[in-house]
Structure 1
Amino acid sequence: MRAHALLREIIRNLTSGTSRLGALFFISTLALTVAVLSDVLTISRTVDDAIEYRGSGAAVMTLALPGRINGASCDALADTPNVLAAGAMRPEGKVTAGTLPGEPLDLYTTTPAFARVLGAEDGGSGVYVSTDVASNLGSTALPLTAGAPTPVRGTYPYPPDGRRAGFGWAVLSPTSASDGAFDECWVLSWPQRSDLRQLLLTSVTPAAAGAAASEQPIVSQLNTKYGLTFAGSTEYESRITRYAPYLAALVGFVLSAMAVWFRRVEIASNLHAGASRGTLYLQHLIESVAWSLPAVAAAWMAGFLTATITAPTELPSLALRSAEIALSFSVGTLTGTAFGFFRVREGRLGHYVKGR
């Protein structure tokens, strides 16, 4: 069969309804879209949980040992893999703002990198304050009673969501990491490290002569509300939708194999009339692509748009995951077409006609 004749035959089958283009496209699009969206939404929920966990301060671990924390060693932990920020601090009592003398602020001296652990951005020079302090006293300068207004270097969020109290109405005053000993070392690790306690202990300096032998460092979590470790990683690995590519491939295989098998009389008749098996196979392969490829594109686009809305930070990985599921359907479709076609035998034409 010549190429133009083959093309004309394919177009005739698609437009006349012989290939069941509309029904197969609708069923495959629906099934594939469900598979794609199920996994995208499941992963998006895990991403939301991770953002909530990290944003709550649950990913921050603290080590407390008054007068025994080396600021430089603590700051250096930020160079460790999976450690996003690290810094040391020591409390310095209270300070008073001239506009709210009845509401003294907690004052902490910190290493330069400490504010990053709390999510503050560096704005130059001055002190860091919580967003509550900034909204009540100003976000550019702090009107302390002792001396001239102090410039505000940056702000950090510290809502009352279960995290340790004492920093929601506070001032952080950065100093050199070598400016004396500190009382605590804080580390923000993401993804979480299992050896974070051991890392924190590297910031501890040896006890001075005559110090209490029973004094031990206390390692704790800034916010214990969401558990010591993020459970989303385990849930992600065990999610049932991780099998979505295999399900999509199976659906594609079954649909395409059935689509060919329903036309077994037509195929066997053409073979009996002398048509080339290779040409007939190419015809049915192209016809299966005609309904499966638009379904793949529609399902992938649905996954992409859903990821854009639900988890924009993970859009590239979710787009690839959607493509993986959709392309698995394509593989299943091509395999099913071959399986269904090569099961048809010219010698069983009479049997096919009787069983139709």
Structure 2
Amino acid sequence: MNGRELLGEVWRNLLSGTTRAALFGLAFAAVVGALAVADARAVVALHQRAAEFVAAGASVRVLSVAANVDGNACDALGDVPGVVSSGALAEDGTLLLAAMPDNPLPTYRVTPGMAAVLGVRAESASGVWVSSRTAETLRAGPGQVVDTDTGPVTLAGVFDYPDDGRDSRLGYAVLVPEPAAGTFDQCWADVRPPTDGADEMLRWAVRPGAAQGLSVTQGQLNPTLGAEFDGAAEFAGRPTRFALPAAALAGLVLGFVSVRLRRLELAGALHVGVSRGALLAGAVLETAAWTLAGLALALCSLVVAAHVGNPADPWDAVLVDARGPAAAALAALAGAAVAASLVRERHLFRYFKDR
């Protein structure tokens, strides 16, 4: 049997339904796709928890040492691997806004690095930063000028600061950015992922020459979500981490069964003179047809599952979980080849009786 005849035979088997291609293709898509989707949703859930942890400020470590934080050293921590951003702040009295004459707002001096820590939007070189709640109260936005007891002040930036368990002082406060040179009261550092040495590293922000007995405190900006979120450990220990080998096993079984069910037909082909090589090639090609169709359906389901509700790059989850369906497809071909190789012409009458 030459190549053209082999392809013609494969095509006829697929069209006639002899291979049960639709049944096995759908079974492949259902089983393998379900495993991939389950793991993708577990990965998305981890991304959601990580985003919630960061959004709540739980990844921010705070070092407090009155008037002894080196602003330049604190801002420089943002360049250290593992530190996303860092900045210093210090109390600086109060400011009375004309729109809120009965509620003077506390004022804080901050270094430029605090803009990244707080996620300040539309920051500019001059002016003050306020929380979005304060901006809504004032009915003002970035770039607008508000009247105060010290004269007009430009709102240079706005940042989100919800009441979610974090240190509430900045919820209604005015932040005045200034050069990092000088001393401050606190150093904030957004550390991801959290490490045991984060607090020790923060101590580098203490001003050189500070008194040995100085009171230094360290802690989380928001402890309500736990001390840390170790994404790598959570990913490694997720319940669906065995989806890849399970998908490969499912593909192997489906490929094997799809050919094993046709052992009488294949033994008959050997009996009339079809070569073993042609038999193997035909079984693999027929299996490849329904495997590719099932693989396409499984991957489509995976892409949708990885995108829905994912705050991170969904293609990262796709790349992680596409390995399962790919391994299952290869395993299905291997299973078909094994099943075809086990067919024996001398067992033809036994296959006939067992059908």
- Scaled by the length of structure 1, the TM-score of the pair is 0.95
Matches within 5 A, 1:109-128: 109-124=109-124, 125-128=126-129
Matches within 5 A, 1:1-356: 1-124=1-124, 125-137=126-138, 138-139=140-141, 140-178=143-181, 180-207=182-209, 214-311=213-310, 313-356=312-355
CA distance in 2, matches of 1:324, 1:297: 13
Post-superposition shift, 1:192? 2.3
CA distance in 2, matches of 1:117, 1:18: 64
CA distance in 1, matches of 2:84, 2:164: 22
Post-superposition shift, 1:276? 0.9
**Contact 1:68–1:207 (CA under 8 A) maintained in structure 2:** no
Calculate percent identity across the aligned residue pairs: 34
Post-superposition shift, 1:321? 2.0
**Contact 2:123–2:158 (CA under 8 A) maintained in structure 1:** no
- Scaled by the length of structure 2, the TM-score of the pair is 0.95
For the aligned residues, what is the CA RMSD? 1.5
Post-superposition shift, 1:207? 4.9
| Cα distance change of structure 1 residues 44 and 241 upon mapping to structure 2, 3 Å threshold | same
CA distance in 2, matches of 1:231, 1:321: 18
CA distance in 1, matches of 2:98, 2:135: 14
Post-superposition shift, 1:39? 0.5
Indicate the SS of the match to 2:36: helix
Structure 1 gap segments, 5+ residues each: none
Post-superposition shift, 1:22? 1.5
Post-superposition shift, 1:240? 2.1
**Contact 2:48–2:311 (CA under 8 A) maintained in structure 1:** no
Post-superposition shift, 1:232? 4.3
Indicate the SS of the match to 2:313: helix
Post-superposition shift, 1:323? 1.8
What amino acid sits opposite 1:111 in the alignment? T
Structure 2 gap segments, 5+ residues each: none
- CA-to-aligned-CA distance 1:294-329 (integer Å, 9 cap, x gap): 111111111112222221622221121232111011
Post-superposition shift, 1:84? 1.2
CA distance in 2, matches of 1:190, 1:141: 34
